[in-house]
Amino acid sequence: MLRYLNQCSRGRGAWLLLALTALALEAVALFFQHVLGQKPCVMCIYERCALFGVMGAGLVGAIAPKTPLRWAALMIWLYSAVEGLRLAYEHTMIQLHPNPFVTCDFAARFPAWLPLNKWLPSVFVATGDCAERSWTFLSFSMPQWLIVVFAAYLLVAVLVAVAQPFKPKRRDLFGR
């Protein structure tokens, strides 16, 4: 399996699939916001940023998967998955154990050199409350589902990282 994961990480298809899954999740988030009227909170916005990081990792890996750029993509993927998992867990704890002393900020804080909330307010401006559970599916709220999503991203990223030293087997004409 590790040889197979190594082989996949050296092709564009797997990296594009990674980017496509993150893009699909971003599209679902925007559907919930703009079509169903769900208001994203600050933690939701930060979780979106982590998903954009996973998508960016997929695009970076697809650029040149057989070069060391693959390692940069893998590091972006690991970092984004860890941060997304941390944020989703923190958001879930805010929802499951509401406390007036532990709340999220009123507005997302982005660095001055990357004011996403000013560049694209329809995606990065928070208007909701972090403690509100406005949507559930199979009794899990959205941040609980994101724990599952980011844990899956992290698990696959770790497996791909572990698989890097395992070179695919070379096959000759006679199948040895």
**63-94 residue pLDDT tens:** 887 788 888 999 999 999 999 999 999 988 88
The owner of tokens 């998508």 is: 55
Candidate list 44, 49, 133, 170, residue with the active-site label: 44
- Pair 123, 47: CB distance under 8 Å: no
Instruction: Identify the active-site residue in 10, 12, 41, 86.
Output: 41
What is the spatial distance between Cα 35 and Cα 68, in angstroms, rounded to a whole number?
41
Place of tokens 């092709």: 11
130 is catalytic: yes
**Active-site residue among 8, 104, 170, 176?**
104
User: In angstroms, rounded to a whole number, what is the distance separating the alpha carbons of residues 98 and 6?
Assistant: 44
Tens digits of residue pLDDT in 117-148: 778 777 887 777 777 778 778 888 888 899 99
Instruction: Find the Cα–Cα–Cα–Cα dihedral 150, 153, 155, 156, rounded to 10°.
Output: 170
- Looking at residue 130, its amino acid is C
The answer on pLDDT for 41 being more than 60 is yes
How confident is residue 150, by pLDDT bands cut at 50, 70 and 90? very high
pTM of the complete model: 0.81
The pLDDT value recorded for residue 40 is 86
Question: Residue 110 corresponds to which tokens in the numbers above?
Answer: 């982005």
pLDDT band with cut points at 50, 70 and 90 for residue 171: low
